[in-house]
Amino acid sequence: MITTAVVPAAGMGTRMLPATKAVPKELLPVMERPALQFIVDEAVDAGVDHLVIVTSRAKPAIEHYFARDAEAEVALTRLGRHDMVERLSRFGSDVRVSFVFQDQPLGLGHAVGCARDAVGDQPFFVMLPDELMADSSLLVALSEVHGSTGVGAIAVKRMPRAELSRYGVLDPVGDEREVSGCKAIPFVGVVEKPAIDAAPSDLAIIGRYALTPDIFDDLARLRPGNTGELQLTDALASQASRAPLWGVLSDIGRRDIGNPLGWLQAVVEAGLAHPELGDAFRDWLNEI
Q: Given the rule CB under 6 A, which residues bind ligand UTP?
A: 8-15, 25-26, 54, 102, 105-108, 110-111, 128-130, 258
Q: Which residue is nearest to ligand UTP (CB)?
A: 11
CB 43 to ligand UTP: min, Å:
14
Q: How many CB atoms lie within 10 A of CB 174?
A: 10
d(CA 25, CA 61): 11
CB 192 within 8 A of CB 233: yes
Q: What angle do CA 83, 98, 108 make, to 5 degrees?
A: 105
Q: How far is the CB of 128 from ligand UTP (least distance, A)?
A: 5
We find the least distance from the C-beta atom of residue 153 to ligand UTP, in angstroms, to be 19
- Taking the complex as a whole, the smallest distance from the CB of residue 36 to ligand UTP amounts, in Å, to 9
The Cα–Cα gap between 140 and 248 comes to: 11
The backbone torsions φ and ψ at residue 56, rounded to the nearest 5 degrees and listed phi first, read -125, 150
- Of the pair 130, 218, the CB lying nearest ligand UTP is at 130
Minimum CB distance to ligand UTP smaller for 14 or for 122: 14
Closer by beta carbon to ligand UTP, 183 or else 193? 193
Determine phi and psi for 44, rounding to 5 degrees. -65, -40
Give every CB contact of residue 18 below 8 A, 6+ residues apart in sequence: none
Nearest CB to ligand UTP, comparing residues 65 and 149: 65
C-alpha distances (whole Å) from 151 to each of 5, 44, 222, 239, 253 are 16, 22, 20, 10, 26
CB of 102 to ligand UTP, least distance (A): 5
Q: Which is nearer to ligand UTP, 157 or 186 (CB)?
A: 157
Pick between residue 108 and residue 153 the one whose CB is nearest to ligand UTP: 108
Q: What are phi and psi of 35, to 5 degrees?
A: -50, -40
Complex with ligand UTP: residue 63 or 176, whichever CB lies closer: 63
Q: How far apart are CA 266 and CA 277, in angstroms?
A: 15
Q: Which residues contact 55 (CB under 8 A, 6 or more apart)?
A: 9, 10, 62, 63, 99, 100, 101, 102
Closest distance of CB 115 from ligand UTP, Å: 10
Shortest Cβ 7–ligand UTP spacing (Å): 8
